[in-house]
Structure 1
Amino acid sequence: MPDIQKMLLATGLIKQHCDTFILRAKVTDSEVARAAAHLCLTIVEQFDATNCLIENQMSSHSPIMVRSMLEGMADLYILVDDATHLNQMAYNSARSGAKTYELMATFAEMQNDKLAFASIQAAAALSVMERDRLKKNGFRPQKIEDKLTKAGLGDSYASYLLLCGYSHNDLQTLHVRHSGPHLRYHHEAPPSVTTGMLTIAIRLMTEAVVLLPKFSDIPEEEMIAARVQMDSAWAAALA
C-alpha cells in the first residue's frame, strides 16, 4: 500500500530544495528568459497547489493541476531550445484575447457602459493587430499533441487526454469520483491514482527547476547534483 503521507513529506522537502535555487536565481535580461522563468515559477506553484489538494482530502481534483503543469512544461522545453516559440505563445495569447474581447463587446451590459465598452474595444483592437501581425509571419494555432511532440513529450499525450477528463467534467470521471453505495463527497482518490499524480507532478517540477541554468545564473553543475539528490529522495519515498 502506497504511503501517501511519506510521499507528501518527501515532496515538501524536495520543493524546499527547489526553492533554494529559485530564490537565488538571477534571470538573464531578455524577454525569452523572463518568459521561461515565469513558466518555471508557475509550474512550481502548481506543484504546491497539487500538494494542497491532496493534503486537504481533495486528491481527485489534483489531475487538473497536473494537466496545467504538463502544458507549461511543454512550452518551457520548447522555449529554452527555440526562442521563436515566444512568438508562438504571443500568437496564442493574442488569438485568444481577440476572440474573448470581441465576444465581450457584444454583451448588452458592456455596451451600456461607455467606459467599459471603449476599454474592451481597445483591448480587442490591440489583440487583433498582434494576432494578424504574427499570422503574417507564419504563426498558426498549435495543437496540443503537436506541442507535446515538439517538446519531446509526445508519449505523454494519452496521459494528457486522461487528465483532461478531470478538468472538463467528463461523465465517466464524475462517476468514478462521486458514485458508490452513497454519493461520495470529499472522497479520496485511490492511493494508486494519488501516487501517480504525485509522481508526474514531482517529475515536472524538478524538470522545470533543472532548466534554471538555461535562463538564469544558476550553474548547471549545481543543478545536475541537485537533480540526483531529488530523484533519490523521491525513490526513497516510493520504497
Structure 2
Amino acid sequence: MRAPLDAPGRPQCALFLSIAEQFEATVLLAQAGLTTHAGVHVRSMLEALADVYQLASKSDHVRRMRYEQAHGEKKLYDRMLATDLLEPHDRAMLEARLAECLTRYQPLHEEFRRGKPSQADHFIAAGLPELIGPYTMLCSFTHSDLTALALRHQGERGMILRAPVAYDVLFLVLSLATYSLVHAARALEAVVYLPEGSYDLHMARLEALQDELMVLRPELPEADQANESRPEAAGAQ
C-alpha cells in the first residue's frame, strides 16, 4: 500500500491498517473462545472508523486528533510529576518532556478547549449514528462490568474459564468487526495508491466475506420478526 505523505490521507491509511490488524486479532480471539475479549478490539475498530470518516469530511479533525494526543500526554506527565517519590533526575526529565508537550498542546487547546465531543458525537459527525448502541455494549467488555464478567465466567455449576458465549453475541462481535473493516476499506478508494484493478479485487473479497457472514445471522424470535416486518406501522404510532 502506497499512502499519501500528508494528512488526512496518511492517518486514514494508518487507521485502516490498524483496523485490519484488529480484525485479525478479533477472529483469532473468537476462535480461541474469547469472544468478549475480542469485543475490546472491535470497540477500537469502531472508534477508528469514525476517525477515518471524519478525516475525510472535516478539515479540522486531524488537528483535533493531535490535540487529544497532546492532552493525554500532558495528563500523563502531570500525574507522574505529582508524586513525591521521583528521583531528581527523573523529575527533570519529565519536566523537560512536559515543556516540549506544552508547545504542541497550548495552541491546540485554544482551538479545541470548548466542549470535548463524546464518542457518540464522533459517530454522529461521521454519519454513523447506528454504531452508538453497539459501541456502548462493547464498552462493557472493555471495562469488565458485571454483565461482561458473567458472560465470561458464569457456568452452570460455578465460575469457569472461557464460558461459552451465546451465538448472537458471537455474531454481533464478528459482524461489527467486518462492518468496520469493509467500510474503512471503502473510504480509502480515493486515498490509497494500488496497482490498477487491485482495489476492486480486494473490495470484492471483503464484500463477499461480509455476505457470507450475514447468511449466518441468527434468526429473530417470531415476535421480533413481526415487528421488523412492519416498520411503517411502528413509525406511524
TM bin (shorter chain): 0.7 to 0.9
- Aligned partner of 1:11 in structure 2 is none
Instruction: Please give the alpha-carbon distance, in whole angstroms, between the structure 2 residues aligned to 1:108 and 1:48.
Output: 43
| CA contact 1:75–1:151 (8 Å) conserved in 2 | yes
- Aligned mates of 2:125, 2:170 — CA distance in 1: 28
Q: Which of residues 90, 95, 120 is equivalent to 1:145?
A: 120
Contact 2:151 2:163 (8 Å CA) reproduced: no
1:220 deviates by 9.2
User: Could you say if the C-alpha distance between residues 189 and 220 of structure 1 is closer, same or farther in structure 2, counting changes exceeding 3 Å?
Assistant: farther
Residue identity opposite 1:132 in structure 2? Q
Q: Note if contact 2:38-2:173 (Cα within 8 Å) is conserved in structure 1.
A: yes
Q: 1 or 2 for the larger relative contact order (CA 8 Å, sep ≥6)?
A: 1
| 1:91-130 pair list within 5 angstroms | 91-109=67-85, 111-112=86-87, 114-130=88-104
Structure 2 portions without partners, runs of 5+: 216-237
Aligned residue identity for 2:103:
M
- C-alpha displacement at 1:79, in angstroms? 0.5
Larger radius of gyration: 2
Deviation string for 1:80-116 (max 9, x for gaps)?
222321000011111111111110112233x21x332
1:170 to 145, 148, 151: 145
* 1:190 aligned onto 2:155: no
Q: Tell me which of 62, 65, 77 is aligned to 1:89.
A: 65
Report SS of the residue matched to 2:8: helix
Equivalent pairs, count: 213
Aligned to 1:54: 30
More helix by share: 1
AA in 2 matched with 1:121: E
Would you say the 8 A contact 2:33–2:162 is kept in 1? yes
| Separation in 2, partners of 1:65, 1:160 | 11
Contact 2:154 2:160 in 1 (8 A): yes
Normalised by the length of structure 2, the TM-score is 0.81
**CA pair 63-34 structure 1, distance change in 2 beyond 3 A:** same
Alpha-carbon RMSD: 2.1
* In 1: Cα distance, 2:24 partner to 2:200 partner: 23
TM-score, reference length from structure 1: 0.80
In structure 2, what is the Cα distance between the partners aligned to 1:220 and 1:50? Answer: 30
Decide which moves more: 43-52 or 176-185: 176-185
What is the rounded CA distance, in whole Å, between the counterparts of 1:167 and 1:238 in structure 2?
Answer: 25
User: Which sections of structure 1, spanning at least 5 residues, go unmatched?
Assistant: 1-24
**For 1:113-138, what per-residue CA distance to the aligned partner results, in whole angstroms no more than 9, with x for missing partners?**
x3322221122223333222112234
Instruction: Give the 3 Å change call, closer, same or farther, for CA 222–167 of structure 1 in structure 2.
Output: same
Q: How does 1:1-239 map to 2 (within 5 A)?
A: 25-109=1-85, 111-112=86-87, 114-138=88-112, 140=114, 141-180=116-155, 181-218=157-194, 223-224=199-200, 226-239=202-215
